[in-house]
Amino acid sequence: MNQLSDLHAAGEEPSEAPSLGGPVSPTVFVRTISTPAGAPWDQARVAALEARVGAPLPLSDVVYQLKRLDGWAFGRPARYAACYVRSNEVGEDFETLTEIDGKSVSVRFLSQAEQARRTRQFSMIAAGAAVTFLLVVGAGLSAVALRSDLEIRLAALEQTTDTCLRRAEVQQQEREQSRALVAAHTEGHTVNDVLRDLQWVSANKVSGAHIDSIHWESGFLGVEARGDGAPIASSERSVIKVNKPVGPDVWLWGISPMNGAKTPLGSGPGL
């Protein structure tokens, strides 16, 4: 329908009602629109499109409002009322009561200029909200990136600290071993003599022997080993078994110095 006369001819009478916003009461033209079943937002889009297409005058000459006449239900069509007034009869804001299906319904119209102004205002608000959202998201991403970078740095620092602690522990152990070697050192022998004897024990150890501890004093070695078999096999140094075990199935074996002397093993400090 393209003319107001067409609405009248179709039986859709213009509705005149006293204005709630002032003494002037523009004529309101009403037509009902049916939409197929569907989601409420889809039904609203169909009704809005039908209201624009079926306007009684060019859209530049009228303003309109849509009113849903029933509630939404699954699988049920929807009914809307499209209410029109001439744009030159509306101020910035016009509200009136009009009769639709025998009921008085409040309808509010905004002039095209006011609609455009509110659209611009809404767009500015939406743009501001979008910018704020982007700033918040950007700040959040920056915070996440900063936290991630901080966690990486902390992990690297913890790893460096652990390495330094382990190195310090190794150095402490080496110092304690050095002090023990120095404490075991007697006149005529050096720390190198102790280290040389330990290497000799390792090189001459019998396969399968279980050595619990090694003692050193003035060139003599004492080896505590499990079982009554000799833990050391050597023809260059004497290996003598002590008469009694020093523990359950643990025997002490005395080993002479490299020069072959057979002085009994003393009771000095051991390693």
Q: Quick one: pLDDT at residue 259?
A: 64
Rounded-to-integer distance, Cα 46 and Cα 43, Å? 5
pLDDT digits (tens, 9 = 90+) for 132-181: 777 777 666 666 766 777 788 778 878 888 888 788 888 887 777 667 66
Give me the helices (H) in 10-103, please: 40-53
β-sheet bridge partners, residue 240: 254
Contact 69, 77 (CB under 8 A): no
Query: Which residues lie below 8 Å from residue 176, measured CB to CB, with a gap of 6+?
Result: none
Instruction: Break the chain into its structural domains and give their ranges.
Output: 4-110, 112-184, 191-255
Per-residue pLDDT, 188? 57
Other C-beta atoms closer than 10 Å to the C-beta of 205 total: 17
Q: What is the pLDDT of residue 14?
A: 53
Tokens coding 155: 């992990």
Nearest to 203 by CA among 258, 249, 252, 242: 258
- How far is 139 from 136, CA to CA, in rounded Å? 5
Contact 29, 87 (CB under 8 A): no
Q: Tens digits of per-residue pLDDT, 213-223?
A: 888 777 788 88
**β-sheet with 14-15: strand ranges across:** 14-15, 28-35, 78-86, 62-68
Nearest to residue 46, comparing CAs of 87, 79, 93? 79
- For position 148, what pLDDT does the model report? 78
Contact 3, 57 (CB under 8 A): yes
Select from 197, 199, 204, 239 the least CA-distant residue to 219. Answer: 197
- What does the pLDDT read at residue 79? 92
Per-residue model confidence as pLDDT tens for the chain (271 residues): 444 434 433 335 455 444 444 455 778 889 888 999 889 899 999 988 988 888 888 888 888 888 898 888 888 999 999 999 888 887 777 788 888 888 888 888 887 666 667 667 767 776 777 777 777 776 666 667 667 777 887 788 788 888 887 888 888 877 776 676 666 555 556 677 778 888 888 888 888 888 888 887 777 888 888 887 888 888 788 888 888 888 888 888 888 887 644 444 444 434 4
Rounded to whole angstroms, the Cα distance separating 26 from 87 reads: 10
pLDDT reported for residue 185: 53
Q: Tokens 């991630």 correspond to what residue?
A: 148
